Structure 1
Amino acid sequence: MRCSCCQKELINNVTLRELFFSSSQRCYHCEKLFSKIDQATACPGCGRPNSAELCSDCRLWQQKLGFVMKNYSLFRYDDGFRQWIEPYKFTGDYRLRGAFVLELNRALQNYRSYLFCPLPLSKERFEKRGFNQVCGCLDLTKFSYELLLRRSELAPQSEKSREDRLRMEQPFQINGPIEKIRNQKVLLIDDVYTTGRTLFHGAELLYEKGAETVKSLTFAR
């Protein structure tokens, strides 16, 4: 058995969790990388930890756009999470995609009536990286997803300041017939919630094309 995160052999002290949930087992070191967010005390809009009331950012989005995202995030975006995402997303270690499939499966079960839509990469970014980091994780779950959006080429979000992200122009177009979207509930899925601008762009476009409800799920906040 190998750790689904670092890929090291799990030889000694196999726990019951590792035995019965071997599709997402992590070694003791990697288990400590991921800090779960307490949903009871998270912002009901963006999922920000320790903000049980609607946070100031979400109030601003509500004033600007007329809605909040209602985002659910699995983990805190901290040093531990960065130790996972940097080799996976930026170095391209595809073996790391199963690090938290158990938690991801459990979260997606709460959205069974939704269409699952991972945020897309541009064609250029996909060709450079070789995979969509969100789809890579979703492919190991028991749920299917729809590529409802396509993306124009823009500078990577990781290279932009907060102010640049907030000023970003609409990067998405509908991928395929809009009949897929009309009167549907859609769950946008991304790796990290930062300013929320990209998710709100996706939600705005989907609402414009007739979606009934749009929410989001991210791996970290």
Structure 2
Amino acid sequence: MKCEYCQQQVAPDWNLVAFLMNSPQQLKSLCDHCLSRFQMISSATCFGCGRLNDGLCYDCMRWQRQGQPLLQNNALYEYNMMMKWYFQNYKVKGGYHLRQVFSEIFTAHIKSRLADKASCLVPIPVSKATLKQRGFNQVQGLLKNNLVFKDWLMCKRENKVTQSSLDRSQRMQGVSPFQLNASQEAVVNQHIVLIDDIYTTGRTLYWAADVFYSYGATSVTSITLAR
């Protein structure tokens, strides 16, 4: 099998236990060299959004001035050129098999970040039109089956404008596409942890947070694969 990025041959990753149990071999979509081009965030980051920054960044100061409780977003990887390629092929072109590149490490990261085990994990949803066209929710695709989450958020409209198609000004001036998909009693006093693929401007995540705060959630934080 060839690496989908560099087209070099990918060496099989043999697992003795899986071999002895006659389990199907999981083929790697990317070679080790290309995998190494994804940069994990390991140095100081902004407390509000997870961007590489020494202290609170300008964007988060602006959210604070608007009266928004900061999301304390925690991101696992930098949004570099390799990550841009990944999302173009996974999310835009619908390469569902590419979820396996990050599903295990991202799920483990989410579990490690849950200080409160009673926290409710809520993935950001996609519209019905996007689900029909793409065939999957890219956020849920990044989560392993052993991670319990709540479908407490839904899109108000059949079609939801994709944030990647808008510039910053257009994103910030948009209208929230989300509404609650649960009873208010279920949300009151809960600690909500939003899960998304990318934190760009934070607009999508803050829209989602607003929904939960309006129904009585105690806190809303977020975890994303990339920032």
Bucket of the pairwise TM-score, normalised by the shorter protein: 0.7 to 0.9
Equivalent residue pairs, number: 211
The percent identity for this pair of structures is 35
1:127 match: 132
Q: Is the 8 A contact 2:121 2:193 kept in 1?
A: yes
For the pair 1:210 / 2:210, whether they are aligned, the reply is no
For the pair 1:96 / 2:98, whether they are aligned, the reply is yes
Distance 1:90 1:66 in 2: 30
Deviations 1:172-207 (A, max 9, x none): 100121222111111111111111011001001101
State the one-letter code of the partner of 2:150. E
1:45 match: 48
State the one-letter code of the partner of 1:44. F
For the pair 1:80 / 2:85, whether they are aligned, the reply is no
For the pair 1:55 / 2:60, whether they are aligned, the reply is no
Distance 2:95 2:182 in 1: 31
Q: 2:32 aligns with which of 18, 25, 28?
A: 28
Deviation at 1:66, TM superposition (A): 3.6
Between 1:100-109 and 1:178-187, the stretch displaced more is 100-109
Aligned with 1:41: secondary structure? coil
State the one-letter code of the partner of 2:45. A
Deviation at 1:76, TM superposition (A): 0.6
What TM-score do you get using the length of structure 1 for normalisation?
A: 0.86
Q: 1:136 to 1:2 in 2, by over 3 A?
A: farther
Distance 2:27 2:179 in 1: 34
What TM-score do you get using the length of structure 2 for normalisation?
A: 0.84
For the pair 1:171 / 2:177, whether they are aligned, the reply is yes
Q: 1:23 to 1:210 in 2, by over 3 A?
A: farther
Uncovered stretches (5+) of structure 2, i.e. residues with no partner: 16-24
Q: 1:3 to 1:145 in 2, by over 3 A?
A: farther
State the one-letter code of the partner of 2:47. P
Uncovered stretches (5+) of structure 1, i.e. residues with no partner: 16-21
Q: Please tell me the root mean square deviation across aligned C-alpha atoms, in Å.
A: 2.7
Instruction: Point out the structure with the larger helix share.
Output: 1
Larger Rg: 2
Deviation at 1:29, TM superposition (A): 2.5
Deviations 1:116-137 (A, max 9, x none): 1110111111111111001111
2:152 match: 148
